[in-house]
Structure 1
């Protein structure tokens, strides 16, 4: 028997809270999780001076890390511990100081052992900055 959508959302929310308690890197980046659901996460952050590269654009490592965090929340949202198998990113536009970046992760496919996720990063004007694809291995470890 499958769980109700409300129960599934409760699991995703509980997993998010547990992850955030111990995720000091997400805290360091100032990422704020706006929404989670099974296979989904939306978060945002504001580009700070310490996130810029030598050309005063958002550093690619920050962009990748923010996408990776949304990927982690989305792939663990079902209550089974998942770890990244692979990740790729395409940088399309550079973020700038003061930009508010929204990172949205969506599950594209879920099997017993593997999940695939597409993550879009946009600025406050809706400009697409990057596309990230992550593949997760789903362990047999229950998070809750």
Structure 2
């Protein structure tokens, strides 16, 4: 059921606040929400020493988690409970300790209960380090966060 008491932007911000309050995974990795809007979200995360793999570069799982979190805030921004049904990620360049990674997610398609979202991850120099595509499934009639 659509939220008719708020503008689409206000709804996205309401969902951001409600979801992030309970998002221990994103908070535990030091993620910060930079921006949200209908069908879009931008998050940042600094690469810490405990995120490095055996090659002294950011473990791909942490980059996927950053993109997945951005995807979650984007696809839930309408306040309809939405979950990932799958994703793929392509790593383009390494991220190193101290890099600030930015994941910008935007809606590509939303039809019925399914959606497609693309997320670009860049470093603090604006260099692309990964591309992520998420597929979502919406449980109609259930809010992502309480009114």
For the aligned pair, the TM-score class normalised by the smaller chain equals over 0.9
Give the 3-state SS of the residue equivalent to 2:74 in structure 1: helix
Query: Could you say what the CA RMSD is over the residues aligned between the two structures, in angstroms?
Result: 1.5
Unmatched 5+ stretches in structure 1: none
| Structure 1 residue ranges, 4+ long, deviating more than 6 angstroms after superposition | none
Q: Which has the higher helix share?
A: 1
- Superposition deviation, residue 85 in structure 1: 0.6
Query: TM-score when scaled to structure 1?
Result: 0.94
Q: Give the structure 1 partner of residue 128 of structure 2.
A: 128
Q: Give the structure 1 partner of residue 108 of structure 2.
A: 108
Q: How many residues matched?
A: 142
Q: Give the structure 1 partner of residue 30 of structure 2.
A: 30
Unmatched 5+ stretches in structure 2: none
- Superposition deviation, residue 126 in structure 1: 1.0
Q: Which has the higher strand share?
A: 1
Q: Give the structure 2 partner of residue 95 of structure 1.
A: 95
Q: Give the structure 1 partner of residue 61 of structure 2.
A: 61
- Superposition deviation, residue 45 in structure 1: 1.1
Give the 3-state SS of the residue equivalent to 1:107 in structure 2: strand
Give the 3-state SS of the residue equivalent to 1:97 in structure 2: coil
Q: For residues 15 and 3 of structure 1, what CA distance do their matches in structure 2 show? A: 11
